[in-house]
Structures are given as C-alpha cells and as structure tokens.
Amino acid sequence: MSWEAWFTIGVVFLLSGVFLFTRWATDIALLGGVTLLLVVGVITPEQALSGLSNEGMVTVGALYIVAAGLYETGGIGWLAQSVLGKPRSLAEAQLRLMAPVATMSAFLNNTPVVAMLIPAVNDWAKKYRLSVSKLMMPLSFAAIAGGTCTLIGSSTNLVINGLLMAETAHRQGLGMFDVAWVGLPVALLTLGYILLASRRLLPERKPVISPDADAREYTVEMLVAPNSPLEGKTVEAAGLRQLPGMYLIEVQRGGHLIPAVGPLERLKGNDRLVFAGIVESIVDLQKIRGLAPATEQIFKLDVPRPERCLIEAVVSDSCPMVGKSIREGRFRTLYNAAVIAVARNGERLNKKLGDIVLRPGDTLLLEAHPSFVEQHRNLRDFFLLSALEDSAPPRHERAYVALLILAAMVTVVSLGWLSMLQAAMLAAGLMIITRCITGRVARRRVDWQVLLVIAASFGIGQALHVSGAAVAVADGLAALGTGSPWAALAMVYLMTAVFTALITNNAAAVLMFPIAIAVAETTGASLLPFAVTIMVAASASFASPIGYQTNLMVFGPGGYRFFDYLRIGLPLTVLVGSVTVLLAPLVWPF
C-alpha cells in the first residue's frame, strides 16, 4: 500500500479512538480528520468538500424543514396520538413505535419517516414520562431493518439490483418482495433484539422535566374552544392528565365549579380549566388543539399569534405595575404583551388573572413577540427576561396543509416521479410558502451538526477510495474467505458492514459489488447470495452513528454518545450477519 493509504487508515483509527474514549463532538472530530487528510495531500479540496454538495446531505436538511412544518402546525401531535397511542410500559412503547415504522420503511424512504417522527417521539416520551434515549435508537434501527424487506425499501437495494441487472446476461434482477426472504427475518430479529436488550444496553437519559423537582409553579387558566376536537372528550382522552409536572385543579363551567376533576369528566365548550404546573408543561398545553389561554388579552395584541412566543419576566420593585392589578395597570397596553400565568413563591393564586395584584419578585409568563426581550432587557421594570424555546403557538389551521404536503412528497417519490432530493426540497419550500413555518424557524430547526457529520463522512470516504486503502483492505479480507463459499459470504458481509460504518451505505455497496463478483467467480458460486448479502450488510449499520443517515438524525435528540451505538449495535450487527449468511444461500443456492 502507498503511504497515503497507510495515513488514511491511521486517521480512521485515530477517529475511532476519539469517538470511543473522548467526549469530543462528532462533527468536530470528523472535520479534524478531513483537515488532516487535506493538508497532507491525500485528498484535494474538491474531494474534501464533496459531501457539501451530496444529495443525501441536502435531502436530510430539507427533511428537517418538512418535519418542522408538521411540528409547528400540530400535525406531529395528531400523528403521534393516532399512531403511537398510550403505552403501559417501555417495551410496549418500543413495540408501538417500531412495528409501524418498520412497516412504513418497507415501502417508503426511511429517512423522511424518521425525520417526521423524531419530534413526535420526543413529545410522546415527555408526555408519558419515558426516557427518550430508550426510543430514538429503536426508531432508527426499526426504519433501517424495515428497509431491507422490499426492493424499494432502501436506496441501497435499488443500487445493487441495478448493478446485478447490468452484470447478468439476461438483465434479470430481483423482484419487489424477493429480498423479503432475508429481510423479514432480519426485521423481526431486530425488533425482538431491541425489546429484549435495550433495557440493559441503551442509556437511561431522562428529559429535563421532573414532576418531583422543586420547580417554579404557575397557575394558568385555559379555555376549551367551542366546536373544537376537545369538546365531548374525557379529560383523560384529551391528554390532560399525562402532562409531566402539571395537574388539573378544577373546571369552571358557567357559574359552577367542578373541583377534584376525575379522568372521565367530559369537556364542554367554554369550560375554563385551571392548571398548576411548571412552565415546560404550560408550553405543551399551548400546543393542544382546542385549548387557548382564558385571558382575552391575547386576542388584542397587534402581533399575529403564530409569530409570538412565551417569555418569563420577573417583576422588579421599580416596576410601575407593582401594587396594581394586571387589569388596572393596563399591562397589555403598556408592554404590548399578554400575561397568561403568574407564579408567586409556590403560592396558589385563586383570583382571576386580571385581578391579581402584582408584587416584586412575581414571575409572569407572557405571550409576546420575540423582540420583547431585546426591547425591555435594559429597563428597570423587570429583574430578568427569558424567552422560552419552541413556545410559539401552533398554526393548527394549517395542520391539514402540512399533512397534505407530506403525503404528496411521499407519493411522488414512491411513484418515481421525483427523486428524494427534488421532492424534499419542493416540500420544504411549500411548507414556507403556505406559511406552515416561517423562514426564521426553518433555519433554526435544521440540525447543522448532523449535516456537517454527513459532509465530513464523505470526505473520509473519498480518502479511503482515492488512496487505495479501501481496495487494499477488501482484497486482504477477501483472500481470507476464498476457501469456501460460506466463508467468502461471511467475509463479504463483514467487509460491507465495516465500510458502511466508515463511509456511506451506498458507497460501501458500490465498492463491495465488484469484489463480490470476483469472490463468487473464484469460489464458483452464484452471484445472487452475495448481492443480497451486500444489500443487507450495507443497510444494517447499527454499530456506528455515521454509517446511516437515520442513526445520525437521532444522535442528538436521543442524547447518545458514540459508544452507545457500539454497545447495542455490534451484537445486533453480528446477529443480522449470521441470519443473512445462513438464509441467503438457502434461498439462492451457491
């Protein structure tokens, strides 16, 4: 091997050590590796930056905006409620999540499926007090495994089938469900393994919200809108009993008061619901379709409601509102902000919101334009001002538009009318044009760290390819397995899995296919079992977050570290490899 090949292999081992034994950010480490390869001349600037123009990276970026459009309109909440339901245990929650995801991924591109469900799973975990780290990796693994069940379930399957058709004399490839003979057992094995092993092998990282924490507690009144989806539902069915750190104190209906509200109490239009709880759960209340703050002041602000956010403000002793009620002091007129809740040292305030007389140290929860913080930061009226992340009221009236855009994107890709990149970019643009999401929020919702990791991974892959390191390693391993077709098949799976962990799945598949042809000819075996093995191995990237896009997408939301993937994914990769190597020759004999 050339010195460039040895240097590239050294950089790969160095990065592996950094991932396993340090807490360096993945994107910083990979960009550092690409920089080393660029500086010493292993790759050119064009090759180092090739990932920035890669379709996969741009597609993922566009899909973040599509998912954000669904989230901002409340469409994600509807999907979560209808698909995921109410689990009674962690295992049931994982099964409720993985079964539909694997099924959808068999017929749809798994990247948009995961992008769409990440915010839904995050909210779902918070609502039912589940550890999000126990759900995000199962989401990705189920999507990957489901994609192995049909020819269109993964782009890798289509790539290998195209190469197979070009190689065979009669241009005969695999049928739509031929790969299911191996893919379906692999999917079932993956789901079963996650259910059995995840409790011990996945980390337990709870959300920040803790109902038992000594947190600042607000009292807030919400109004059930007439003719809304909540009217006629029980309190439990409306999801008003599962909010962490929040409980329903009473219901005011006309002139009657209903204390100690039971779970089977049915809601009616214009019911005033009095809650007590932490601020994060008030943000969740805001996102429930059919609920709105009971104060009429929110409808009198001169800022469109979807452009507002929630802001916490601590009243100072020099505030002109001190000693006056919120109504008497004309808070909305003075500050162009509506008070929707007040917290006072854990004390429950029984008065109506407008009648509360403010004191120094009271914490107000305001609904206002995000610029409120900058405009009033230096005033002496408030000790502290803090805007809450992701607290804009959902654009519920546009939820159906967002869902229609999503359905159209999936349909045109499934029918082959547009590529995934074209459809994702068009859908992202439509989300902004139809005002399902603003440009400001769209820019903030893109996970730039994930995109940088994808781009840097392509640079590493280019170095492995152009330096000859990939071919040299593949030739060496292939020589070890040419004694028998079974050993050769196992080596092909191993090499493909290794390359998928280092470079992209499609690049690994394309690199391994000619090697598989040579190995099949050497052993006198049929090419078909080798082709199917490459399909599965290139998709079944469980031991590394950088081997598959969906693994990267759940890396941040799940709070994972590199070693988390290795701990649970390496045994699964070995199990999937064993099943594949066993079944492929039985279905397509050597």
pLDDT digits 0-9 by tens, 301-328: 777 777 788 899 999 988 989 988 888 8
Q: pLDDT value at position 514?
A: 73
- Taking the C-alpha atoms of residue 258 and residue 219, their distance in angstroms, rounded to an integer, is 17
Please enumerate in sequence order all residues whose Cβ is within 8 A of that of 67, keeping only pairs 6 or more positions apart, or say none: 76, 115, 116, 118, 119, 445
Q: pLDDT value at position 293?
A: 82
Q: pLDDT value at position 170?
A: 43
Q: pLDDT value at position 468?
A: 80
Please give the model's pTM, rounded to 2 decimal places: 0.69
Domain housing 509:
3-205+449-587
CB burial of 518-527 (b: ≥16 within 10 Å; e: otherwise) equals: ebbeebebeb
pLDDT digits (tens, 9 = 90+) for 177-212: 788 899 999 999 999 999 999 888 888 876 544 444
Determine how many CB atoms are found less than 10 A away from the CB of residue 44.
Answer: 12
The pLDDT of residue 171 is above 60: no
Q: pLDDT exceeding 90 applies to what percent of the chain?
A: 12
Asked whether residue 105 falls in the same domain as residue 187, the answer is: yes
Q: What average pLDDT score do residues 348-373 get?
A: 84
- Quote the tokens at residue 366: 């305001």
Q: What average pLDDT score do residues 254-276 get?
A: 83
Q: What average pLDDT score do residues 26-54 get?
A: 86
Up-side HSE of residue 482: CA atoms within 13 Å toward CB?
16
DSSP per-residue codes, 75-112: HHHHHIIIII---SSHHHHHHHHHHHHHHHHHHS-HHH
- Taking the C-alpha atoms of residue 62 and residue 115, their distance in angstroms, rounded to an integer, is 10
Nearest to 528 by CA among 511, 549, 513: 513
- Taking the C-alpha atoms of residue 199 and residue 324, their distance in angstroms, rounded to an integer, is 54
Phi, psi of 458 (to 5 degrees): -65, -35
Q: How many domains does the chain have?
A: 2
Asked whether residue 200 falls in the same domain as residue 228, the answer is: no
CB burial of 191-218 (b: ≥16 within 10 Å; e: otherwise) equals: bebbbeebeebbbeeebebeeeeebebb
Asked whether residue 343 falls in the same domain as residue 454, the answer is: no
Asked whether residue 321 falls in the same domain as residue 343, the answer is: yes
243 within 8 A of 277, measured Cβ to Cβ: yes
128 within 8 A of 93, measured Cβ to Cβ: yes
Asked whether residue 510 is domain-assigned, the answer is yes
Q: pLDDT value at position 574?
A: 92
pLDDT band at 136 (very low <50, low <70, confident <90, very high): very high
Q: What average pLDDT score do residues 61-77 get?
A: 80
Chain-wide mean pLDDT for the chain? 82
Q: pLDDT value at position 483?
A: 62
Read off the CATH number of the domain in which 372 is found: 3.30.70.1450
Sign of CA dihedral 55, 57, 63, 68: negative
Q: pLDDT value at position 193?
A: 94
pLDDT band at 429 (very low <50, low <70, confident <90, very high): very high
Asked whether residue 456 falls in the same domain as residue 552, the answer is: yes
The pLDDT of residue 506 is above 50: yes
pLDDT band at 172 (very low <50, low <70, confident <90, very high): low
Coil vs helix vs strand at 324: coil
Poorest-pLDDT segment among 87-91, 191-195, 366-370, 452-456: 452-456
- Taking the C-alpha atoms of residue 301 and residue 296, their distance in angstroms, rounded to an integer, is 10
Domain end marker among 364, 387, 410: 387
- Which stretch of DSSP H or E encloses residue 183? helix 180-201
Q: pLDDT value at position 575?
A: 94
The pLDDT of residue 480 is above 70: no
The pLDDT of residue 113 is above 90: no
- Taking the C-alpha atoms of residue 276 and residue 249, their distance in angstroms, rounded to an integer, is 7
Coil vs helix vs strand at 74: coil
